[in-house]
Structure 1
Amino acid sequence: MSQELEMEATVYDGPPIEPDGPYGSKLSATVAKVPGPIRNVTSEAGGMTLLLGKVLWSAVRHPRGYWNDVLDEMHFTIKRSWIAISVALFGFLLALSVPSMQFVALAGVGELYGPLLLVQSTRTFTVWVATLLVAGVVGAAMTAELGSRKVREELDAMEVMGIDPIRTLVLPRIVSVTLITTLLAIPAALITVVSSQFGSWFIGGIPRADFYGAFLWTSLSTVEVVALMFNCFLAGLLIGAVCCYKGLSAAGGAMGLGKAVNQAVVIAFLALFIMQLGYNAVILGFFPGLGAFK
């Protein structure tokens, strides 16, 4: 018997038989050589980009039929989380303004508090805190809801019935979180101004009239406000794409769902940090006067 097997092995003269698996072909074998962490990050980033592209294409191609769901989602989300977001935003920004004013007061340059720290905190820290709160509160709830539907196989049932889950579930949530984050830019800027004014008055002894008259209106410009809102708009798209993708890819029951929610929040935090660096560099490149003292 062993002799027959050896003869058959020697008779075969074809190409080598490639192993089974996801990297069996010659083309995909090159992908298998990429380190696992890099391959996983690239794959997930591509999936999130593809999902966002599908949502934007569906929203632009058929711009009707989903706005009622968007308004309902926005109303439910704002009603559930506006108090937590407002309190946390004021607390974080106040915690920034008080030590910042202490530093400039000890240095004897309290007059630079407005044109330096207020503008910088409005441009960077305000957006950072506001978007992190949206990702941690709204994004986590979005991932948990979509992930629970995925685990219960409701999405598969919708596809069997001819209902597109991307159009029905994902699109309204991405549009709603984008609008919420964009609309949050103005209240967040106002909270930044109030907390900064409180810190300047309580620590530095700067009168309110001097703060609002000399610091605020000469430091913040229309370009700053527009850039702030557009920054929050891009952040909302990023949060929606990351959280919806992780919700749609959840698997493994309750443990897998909790892991997906945790990963969505962490990935959103890191992606927002990277986006802020690139966005502020581009804005300052187009408008270099924003970084100048006034």
Structure 2
Amino acid sequence: MSVDFSQTDEDGRCVLRFEGALTMLRARRLSDELAAVRADDIVVDLSGVERMDTVGAWLIHKLERDRGATVTGASDEQRTLIEHVAQADKPITVRRQPEPLIYQFVGQVGAASVTAVTTLVGLLGFFGSLCLSVAQIFRHPRRFRFNAVVQQFDMVGIHALGIIGLMSVLVGIVIAQQGAVQLRQFGAEIYTVNLIGRAAMRELGVLMTAIMVAGRSGSAFAAELGSMKLNEEVDAMRIIGISPMESLVFPRVLATLLMMPLLGFYAAILAIVGGGIFTWASLDMPPITYVQRIREVIPMTDLWQTLIKAPTFGFIIAMAGCFQGLLVEGNAEEVGRRTTTAVVQGIFLVIVLDAFFAVFFTQIGWP
């Protein structure tokens, strides 16, 4: 059923009468016919309209808005529909107006600050939950998952020996080469050994190891726990009475905490070995002389610093990886995002803590 449209003149006014169904079926043709009407004073009579949809209401509203038409004979439902269409008739900005740069900068700084504070509070809460889980394990030793810890030893430590060893040897060679080039200008190439020994044992060994573990194990923790969270395995564990903190988080944190001192010492020794290879090949220093010099220039306090910093770094890396993994929600894309965040967060916290330890050890007389 279509609409019948007629035009008459009554008392000097143009009367447009509609009969039938004022719907979308004749919208295009009716719109062209209404555009052809040439009159200033228009009256729209809807008393003969049996049915009206949104498109028909829009045509009537357009006559009211653009040509000042007066609508008569409309039922309550039709009048309500026309009013709703009129309320929705608002200008739309298709392209978002760019904000001033200062507003963008302040907004980004504010969002980053809120995220940082929220993450810090979340990490503290996660640490508290882990402490409660450790207390429960001490109260009930049978809940300790020895096999899970050993499995994480293998993943965090044994499988990382190759890449960490290669990296440490190359870093030692680079330190020796760059140090020798600079010290040669002052005729002090012999002190290259001092540079290699102190830098490798005190800083670079444990720091490079922590960065490697964060990129390797921290990301693995986040991806594993994130996938389990996405597949609702974590929720299933809670339902059957198994604590995810005890069965998933604690073994990973404990394994990383215990393996980091060993990996850090291992990396420092191989960095020293790499520096020794360079000094033997480039500076003609015999290996025996190099070893003797290393024993003389490295104080015991450097080893203690490595053994203190390494477990702290391992604990932070494992905490960040597990924390971000358990925050995964929604879809697989969230797993990748949280994994990246875990690596960045772990490396950032390691560098911040390393700076803190440097100041602290200097203050207590371990320069």
CA gap of 1:183–1:53, structure 2 versus 1, over 3 A, is farther
Higher strand fraction (1 or 2): 2
Q: Secondary structure in 1 aligned to 2:185?
A: helix
Q: 2:114 aligns with which of 39, 43, 61?
A: 39
SS of residue matched to 1:205: coil
Check if 1:253 corresponds to 2:331.
yes
Deviations 1:228-274 (A, max 9, x none): 11110100011011111111112232211011111111111111111
Is the Cα–Cα contact under 8 Å of residues 102 and 204 in structure 1 kept in the other structure?
A: no
**Structure (1 or 2) with the larger CA radius of gyration:** 2
C-alpha separation in 2, matches of 1:130 and 1:101: 24
1:44-66 deviation line (CA, Å, top 9, x unaligned): 12212221232234325523323
Pairing of 1:20-169 with structure 2 (within 5 A): 35-63=110-138, 64=141, 65-169=144-248
Q: What is the CA-CA distance between 1:203 and the residue it aligns to? A: 2.8
SS at match of 2:314: helix
Distance 1:115 1:60, change over 3 A: farther
Give how far 1:136 is off: 0.8
Distance 1:159 1:270 in 2: 32
Q: What are the ranges of 5 or more consecutive residues in structure 1 without an aligned counterpart?
A: 1-33
Q: Which amino acid aligns with 2:330?
A: G
Q: Secondary structure at 2:157's aligned position in 1?
A: helix
> Does the 8 A contact of 1:92 with 1:129 survive in 2?
no
Q: Deviation digits for residues 55-111 of structure 1, max 9, x if unmatched?
A: 234325523323332112212443433222222232233223222222222331112
**Partners of 1:232 and 1:57 in 2: how far apart?**
24
| Structure 2 unaligned residues grouped into runs of 5+ | 1-108
**Number of matched residues?**
256
- Alpha-carbon contact 1:139-1:239 (below 8 Å) kept: yes
In structure 2, which of residues 285, 300, 310 is the aligned counterpart of residue 206 of structure 1? Answer: 285
Q: Is the 8 A contact 1:93 1:126 kept in 2?
A: no
**Take 2:132 and 2:363, find their aligned partners in 1: how far apart are those partners?**
30
2:337 paired with 1:262: no
Identity %: 21
* Preserved CA contact (<8 Å) 1:105 1:204: no
Q: CA contact under 8 A between 2:152 and 2:251: conserved in structure 1?
A: yes
Which structure has more helix as a fraction of its residues?
A: 1
Contact 1:174 1:237 in 2 (8 A): yes
> 1:228, 1:249 → 2: CA distance?
32
* Distance 1:49-1:94 versus aligned 2 partners, 3 A rule: farther
Amino acid at match of 1:59: V
1:180 aligns with 2:259: yes
What SS is found at the alignment partner of 1:91? helix
> Deviation of residue 199 (structure 1)?
2.2
Q: CA deviation at 1:178?
A: 1.2
Q: Which moved more, 1:108-117 or 1:249-258?
A: 108-117
1:173/1:240 contact within 8 Å kept? yes
For 2:152 and 2:269, the matched residues in 1 are separated by 25
Deviation, 1:153, is 1.4
| TM-score normalised over the length of structure 1 | 0.81
1:275 to 353, 357, 365: 353
**1:116: Cα distance to partner?**
3.5
The runs of 4+ residues in structure 1 deviating greater than 6 Å are none
- Which residue matches 2:93? none
- What is the RMSD computed on CA atoms of the aligned residues? 2.0
Work out the CA distance in 2 between the residues paired with 1:100 and 1:154. 52
TM-score, structure 2 normalization: 0.65
Other-structure match for 1:29: none
Q: Which residue of 1 aligns with 2:48?
A: none
- Letter aligned with residue 212 of structure 2: L
Return the alpha-carbon distance in structure 2 between the equivalents of residues 60 and 202 of structure 1. 54
Report the residue type matching 1:91 in the other structure.
L
